[in-house]
């Protein structure tokens, strides 16, 4: 039942970066500033690699590719990894 609540909430509003950083900091016990630096570094590198035309394979998350639109924005596509349930 909880998963339906989470799914409906996720469709209703966007999650803010600061909320994600606070959640990760609480989960890991690291200060929010440290988590912010790591998350921002990852996101910058992720976008740069895709913008340079590379595919990114993130284990357990899939393969990400991107194309640059006329506006200069990236259109990111993901091919999910198969999930295996024991």
DSSP per-residue string spanning 19-77: HHHHHHHHHH---HHHHHHHHHHHHHHHHHHHHTT--EEETTTEEEEEEE-TTS-EEEE
8 vs 29 pLDDT, higher one: 29
Question: pTM for this structure?
Answer: 0.69
> What domains are there in the chain, each with its CATH number?
15-79 (4.10.520.10)
Residues 44-53, mean pLDDT to the nearest whole number: 91
What mean pLDDT is predicted for residues 65-72? Answer: 88
Give percent of the chain above pLDDT 70: 83
| pLDDT score of 84 more than 50 | yes
């Amino acid at each position: 039942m909880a998963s339906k609540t989470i799914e409906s909430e996720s469709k209703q509003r966007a999650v803010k970066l600061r909320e994600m950083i606070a959640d990760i900091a609480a989960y890991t016990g690291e200060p929010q500033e440290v988590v912010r630096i790591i998350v921002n570094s990852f996101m910058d590198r992720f976008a740069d690699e895709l913008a340079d035309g590379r595919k990114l394979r993130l284990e357990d998350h899939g393969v990400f590719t991107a194309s640059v639109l006329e506006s200069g924005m990236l259109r990111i596509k993901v091919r999910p990894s198969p999930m295996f349930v024991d």
